């Protein structure tokens, strides 16, 4: 074991990473160097507070991969004790927690012939804490400070992940009815009037409340962004375009029926389309925008699919006109 090796260089390496994937790769290599074995698995809940199962960040591990339920149960067990060790026949299994501000967000699972030296496990705990802290900083950097939705800078990367086939956060069991990814862009109708009549403080409160309604309307594994100003983007899964339309229309109704303090009711307009691998990010956004502009120009408070424009041969709308 390399427990006597100074961890200073490893810590520097972790804190220098600015991309989540690079941070994961650095941690995997460091743990491998520390333990000098490949019989380990690292499970992490990268959403921190969200109640989702931790995901395996080193899928090439020699250990058998746990199911989402098994991984969640493992995290619960680790939470009860700082470090757990179990023995079975000629192998020893160590469970080392990954902490973030006192909360267990993951675990390092290690199988060895003999129990690890205490100094090795303590160094592993320290390294994992550094990793979790850096992961938390990267997570915060992806959030809009007002709404705590994902920010615009994160949007392009997430779209690229999805169209390249790497976007599913949780595995699906309904393989015969594969879900597809959709992009929707929503805009608060007549938002300029809210700022003009009630001030920017109320305007910010409206944006915050709409953001919460949007986030509560989607699953944990979907993504909601503050795209800019009073505009929001949603990347979500549905089996068909009809199902996507139903989900977005339900969201539209939820917003329209919500009693906003001081201003009463307001509405949103939405445009959406299915994501396909041949499209670029700019092309995808442009098509969603065209559907959104159609919703705006035909009375607001409605949901439009880009495919509706194609089927109906609707004219391309000049998005330079004042719609808000």
For 250, the token pair is 């339900």
State pLDDT tens for residues 176-232.
Answer: 457 899 999 999 999 999 999 999 999 999 999 999 999 999 988 899 999 999 999
Instruction: Output the furthest CA–CA distance in the chain (Å, rounded).
Output: 74
Burial class (CB in 10 A: 0-12, 13-18, 19+), 227: buried
Q: How confident is the model at residue 37 (pLDDT cuts 50, 70, 90)?
A: confident
- Chain centroid to CA 76: how far? 22
Pick the closest to residue 188 from 252, 276, 110 (CA basis): 252
Q: For residue 262, what are the contacts with CB-CB under 8 A and spacing of at least 6? A: 198, 202
pLDDT score for 174: 47
CA distances (Å), 301 to each of 180, 214, 217, 233, 293, in order? Answer: 25, 15, 17, 16, 12
CATH topology of domain 152-311: Alpha-Beta Plaits (3.30.70)
Give mean pLDDT, residues 69-75: 87
How is residue 60 annotated by DSSP?
A: T
Instruction: Give the percent of the chain with pLDDT over 70.
Output: 88
For 189, the token pair is 């109708």
Residue 227 phi/psi, 5° resolution? Answer: -80, -30
Q: How confident is the model at residue 77 (pLDDT cuts 50, 70, 90)?
A: confident
**Among the residues of 85-234, which ranges form H helices?**
118-141, 152-163, 191-198, 200-217
pLDDT at 172 exceeding the cut of 70:
no
Pick the CATH number of 8-141 from 3.30.450.40, 2.40.110.10, 3.60.15.10, 3.40.50.300: 3.30.450.40
Instruction: Give the percent of the chain with pLDDT over 90.
Output: 59
Delimit the domains of the chain by residue range: 8-141, 152-311
Spatial separation of the C-alpha atoms in residues 45 and 79, rounded to whole Å: 13
For 22, the token pair is 């690079």
For 48, the token pair is 């921190």
Q: How confident is the model at residue 83 (pLDDT cuts 50, 70, 90)?
A: confident
Number of H helices, E strands in the chain: 10, 10
pLDDT score for 221: 81
For 294, the token pair is 């159609």
pLDDT at 3 exceeding the cut of 70:
no
Give mean pLDDT, residues 24-50: 89
How is residue 175 annotated by DSSP?
A: G
For 12, the token pair is 């520097």
Whole-model pTM: value is: 0.78
Q: What is the mean pLDDT of the chain?
A: 87
């Amino acid at each position: 074991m390399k427990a006597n090796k100074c961890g200073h260089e490893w810590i520097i390496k972790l804190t220098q990473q600015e991309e989540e994937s690079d941070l994961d790769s650095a941690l995997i290599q460091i743990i491998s160097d520390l333990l000098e074995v490949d019989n380990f698995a690292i499970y992490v809940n990268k959403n921190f507070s969200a109640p989702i199962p931790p995901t395996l960040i080193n899928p090439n591990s020699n250990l058998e991969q746990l199911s989402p339920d098994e991984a969640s149960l493992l995290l619960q067990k680790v939470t009860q004790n700082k470090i757990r060790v179990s023995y079975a026949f000629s192998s020893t299994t160590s469970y080392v927690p990954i902490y973030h501000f006192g909360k267990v967000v993951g675990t390092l699972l290690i199988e060895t012939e003999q129990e690890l030296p205490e100094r090795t496990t303590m160094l592993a705990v320290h390294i994992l804490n550094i990793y979790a802290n850096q992961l938390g900083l990267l997570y915060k950097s992806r959030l809009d400070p007002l709404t705590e939705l994902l920010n615009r800078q994160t949007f392009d990367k997430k779209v690229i992940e999805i169209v390249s086939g790497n976007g599913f956060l949780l595995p699906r069991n309904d393989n015969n009815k594969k879900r597809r990814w959709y992009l929707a862009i929503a805009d608060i109708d007549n938002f300029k009037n809210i700022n003009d009549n009630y001030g920017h403080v109320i305007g910010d409160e409206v944006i915050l409340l709409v953001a919460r309604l949007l986030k509560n309307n989607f699953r944990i594994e979907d993504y909601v962004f503050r795209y800019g100003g009073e505009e929001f983007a949603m990347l979500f899964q549905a089996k068909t375009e009809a199902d996507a339309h139903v989900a977005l229309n339900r969201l539209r109704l939820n917003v329209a029926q919500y009693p906003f303090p001081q201003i009463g009711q307001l509405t949103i307009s939405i445009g959406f389309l299915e994501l396909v691998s041949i499209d670029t990010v700019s092309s995808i956004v442009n098509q969603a925008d065209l559907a959104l502009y159609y919703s705006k120009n035909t009375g607001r408070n409605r949901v439009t699919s880009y495919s509706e424009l194609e089927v109906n041969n609707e004219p391309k709308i000049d998005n330079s006109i004042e719609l808000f």
